[in-house]
Amino acid sequence: MTTHVALAARALGARGFILAGTCDFSVINSVLKVENTWGRAYKIVACGISYIEIMKLWKKMSWPIVHLTMYGLPLKDVLPKIKGRRRPVLVVVGAEKVPREVYELADYNISVTNQPHSEVSALAIFLDRLYNCCEQDIKLEDAKIMVIPSARGKRIKQIEQSGGEEVGEKQEERD
């Protein structure tokens, strides 16, 4: 699940990823493998850091902390307070048992729905609304391949690394 959270965040415009607590190198390696092919989106990839220390540092910098939880205030009501700020936003996505301290340190405890749902879906909805769906067409300078939108099949274009030139297109039939 953690890898899915990291990849969803990356695909929807997040600029960094911090895996708090125990460092799971399989997650970090999965993210780095994707970034090697699809381009480096993350400026920060860190792990093994205490989530409390991260949140306290964010507080010290006066940067907003968003905790996604089904017990929070509705996204539509809180989002206007977050949008437009020119400061980094820390988005905290927890597992089943989130410590009370996370709720207390967060500036915003936000719910995308008050029904049980996955952390991945909550993060995807939050980032999509935060960026006004604008992160759909992310193009990264160091990408080796890119998707060509297609109504049928899979179209991928390989990119020459030296000058960012497109060198070829591969089309696959969809299963």
Which range, of 4-13, 108-117, 127-136, averages the lowest pLDDT?
127-136
What is the H or E stretch that residue 4 is in? Answer: helix 2-11
Scanning the structure block, which residue is given the tokens 């381009």? 39
**Is residue 141 pLDDT above 70, yes or no?**
yes
Q: What is the mean pLDDT of residues 61-87?
A: 91
Q: How confident is the model at residue 63 (pLDDT cuts 50, 70, 90)?
A: very high
**Range name among 49-53, 71-75, 83-87, 159-163 with the lowest pLDDT average:** 159-163
Give yes or no for residue 110 having a pLDDT over 80.
yes
The CATH architecture of the domain made up of 2-137 is 3-Layer(aba) Sandwich (3.40)
What letters, b where the CB count within 10 A reaches 16 and e where it falls short, cover 61-83? eeebbbbbbeebeebeebeeebe
**pLDDT class of 79 with cuts at 50, 70, 90:** very high
Would you kindly state where each structural domain of the chain is located, as residue ranges?
A: 2-137, 144-175
How would you list the strands of the sheet with 166-172, edge to edge? 145-147, 154-159, 166-172
Query: What pLDDT does 44 receive?
Result: 72
For position 175, what pLDDT does the model report? 43
**Higher local confidence (pLDDT), 156 or 136:** 156
